[in-house]
């Protein structure tokens, strides 16, 4: 049986029709991982009980659960009870989770099989997965290039056919940017729609768990399993999202941005994507968000401030790495020096600085005020349009090492993804379709590298994202085959 290009929906039908067992499906992906992971480094660990878990499902009999028997990969900052969860850091290299994250409980109830934990930038700080203490994850399309970050391992695992879907976390763009670089779908949900309980925190007012998959429909299936209120996360909510029930012609805002700092082929893909939505009977108009130019500088004040607070718990006393010094202060210093990598230290110091006496009002308090202005910009625009489209990143996947020594260049990777995070909005990256002839592969630039399209919706507008994404996918796949 040919299992290439399998989706969750197709796999679920094969399982239901008993054309394949959960064990056979799991074994197929484990074989793929064995053959490819040594070159790509998407997985930090492949779980040795994955086949046993699949066999248990087969013995229990086919269930009605939406992810019954579906092999999935989990980012290394989401707790699975009894499994190592290192957040890509030496600080937690021997830490075993004592409980399941809420999303893991929900995936287990839905029948998912966990294949392993995926590589990431240390404590989710980075846009290339080069900041992992365990080596960079390479892009499955071009092994000389990055997979994106911080959820680079989760994106690469899907792209290399090493799972049917994965979970990542998005703080400034960490699901959408690697999804764009690897040519898969990645959803950053509305803040609060998915519980953060059991997610190792980076910046708590930004962090959000979301799905990565081969298709929009698959991402929707995973999202519908993991979403919803949780008593363990006071920011989580239940919500009703019925999509476009009015039947009216929807309006899409094409974000106006400075095209000079963006790859020419990405600009071209935006124009073609706008035309596709127009052909799909959406009304297109150009829109401006006056204050989004401040999104990246504000993000890199607010997020490091929260990092400084959240990572204070890693002191060698309660869990994780411990390096003994002459006294308690030296214990802390030696432990953190050995446990934290350069980027993590940089952000802790930035955050500590902006929160310090004399600088709090000048930086942190001012950034919070600008964050509110950015939220208001979106609220204003959403009075005239139903959704916004923009690039995901100013470039395609860059070479490994190309930006590693230039933090500013790396931070600018968030220029299109940070604004939605500042406002707590749902946003999704889907592969674009540049090719106009079947002879040329879809959704790639002239070098064969994927380009992502970002769709942003109002709060709790995930259903609208899925509707738009599925229509876009359907239209482009038909035209590619024509």
Which residues are known catalytic residues? 75, 150, 174
Rounded CA gap, 461 and 120, in Å?
A: 28
- How large is the C-alpha radius of gyration of the chain? 21
Q: Pairing between strand 71-75 and 165-170?
A: parallel
Measure the CA–CA gap between 71 and 11, rounded to whole angstroms. 10
The candidate with the shortest Cα–Cα distance to 69, out of 112, 31, 103, 109, is: 112
- CA 436 from chain centre, in angstroms, equals 29
- Which parts of 355-446 are beta strand (E)? 387-391, 427-431
For residues 106 and 96, the answer to whether their CB atoms sit within 8 Å is no
Sign of torsion over alpha carbons 205, 252, 389, 159: positive
Structure token digits, residue 55:
């066999």
3-state secondary structure of 243: coil
Tokens of 70: 């579906």
Q: Note whether 414 and 171 are within 8 A (CB).
A: no
Which residue spans within 183-241 are E strands per DSSP?
Answer: 185-188, 208-213
Question: What's the CA gap between 331 and 374, in Å, rounded?
Answer: 42
DSSP 194: B
Contact 199, 207 (CB under 8 A): yes
Q: What are the b/e assignments for 201-213, b being 16+ CB within 10 Å?
A: bbbebbbbbbbbb
Q: In sequence order, which residues have a C-beta less than 8 Å from that of residue 314 and are 6 or more positions away?
A: 91, 92, 320, 321, 335, 336, 339, 340
Helix (H) or strand (E) holding 67: none
Cα gap 308→302, rounded to integer Å: 10
Q: What whole-number distance in Å separates Cα of residue 355 and Cα of residue 349?
A: 10
Q: For residues 310 and 326, what is the distance between their CA atoms, to the nearest angstrom?
A: 26
Q: Are strands 185-188 and 251-255 parallel, antiparallel or unpaired?
A: unpaired
d(CA 161, CA 302): 36
Cα-to-chain-centroid distance, residue 329: 36
């Amino acid at each position: 049986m040919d299992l290439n290009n399998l989706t969750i929906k197709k796999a679920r039908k094969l399982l239901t029709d008993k054309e394949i067992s959960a064990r056979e499906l799991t074994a197929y992906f484990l074989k793929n991982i064995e053959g490819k992971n040594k070159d790509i480094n998407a997985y930090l660990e492949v779980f040795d009980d994955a086949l046993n878990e699949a066999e248990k499902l087969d013995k229990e009999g086919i269930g009605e659960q939406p992810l019954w028997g579906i092999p999935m990969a989990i980012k290394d900052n989401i707790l699975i009870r009894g499994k190592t969860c290192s957040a890509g850091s030496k600080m937690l290299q021997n830490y075993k989770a004592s409980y399941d994250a809420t999303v893991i409980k929900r995936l287990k109830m839905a029948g998912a099989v966990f294949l392993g934990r995926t590589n990431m930038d240390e404590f989710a700080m980075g846009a290339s997965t080069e900041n992992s203490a365990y080596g960079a994850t390479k892009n499955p399309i071009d092994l000389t290039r990055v997979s994106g970050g911080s959820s680079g391992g989760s994106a690469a695992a899907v792209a290399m056919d090493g799972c049917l879907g994965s979970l990542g976390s998005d703080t400034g763009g960490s699901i959408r940017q690697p999804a764009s670089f690897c040519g898969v779908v990645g959803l950053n949900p509305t803040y609060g729609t998915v519980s953060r309980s059991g997610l190792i925190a980076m910046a708590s007012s930004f962090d959000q768990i979301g799905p990565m998959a081969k298709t929009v429909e698959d991402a929707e299936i995973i999202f519908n399993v993991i979403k919803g209120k949780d008593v363990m996360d006071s920011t989580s909510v239940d919500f009703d999202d019925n999509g476009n029930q009015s039947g009216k012609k929807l309006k899409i805002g094409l974000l106006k941005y400075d095209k000079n700092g963006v790859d020419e082929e990405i600009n071209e893909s935006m124009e073609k994507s706008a035309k596709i939505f127009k052909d799909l009977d959406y009304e297109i108009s150009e829109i401006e968000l006056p204050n989004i130019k401040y999104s990246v500088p504000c993000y890199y004040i607010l997020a490091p401030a929260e990092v400084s607070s959240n990572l204070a718990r890693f002191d060698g006393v309660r869990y994780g790495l411990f390096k003994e010094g002459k006294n308690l202060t030296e214990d802390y210093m030696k432990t953190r020096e050995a446990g934290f990598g350069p980027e993590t230290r940089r952000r802790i110091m930035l955050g500590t600085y902006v929160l310090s006496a004399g600088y709090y009002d000048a930086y942190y308090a001012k950034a919070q005020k600008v964050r509110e202005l950015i939220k208001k910009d979106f609220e204003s625009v959403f009075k005239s349009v139903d959704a916004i489209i923009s690039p995901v990143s100013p470039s395609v996947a860059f070479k490994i090492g190309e930006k590693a020594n230039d933090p500013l260049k790396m931070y600018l990777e968030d220029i299109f993804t940070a604004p939605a995070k500042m406002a707590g909005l749902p946003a999704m990256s889907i592969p674009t379709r540049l090719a106009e002839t079947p002879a040329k592969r879809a959704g790639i630039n002239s070098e064969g590298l994927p380009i992502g399209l970002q769709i942003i919706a109002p709060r709790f507008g995930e259903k609208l994202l899925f509707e738009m994404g599925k229509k876009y996918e359907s239209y482009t796949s038909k035209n590619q085959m024509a």
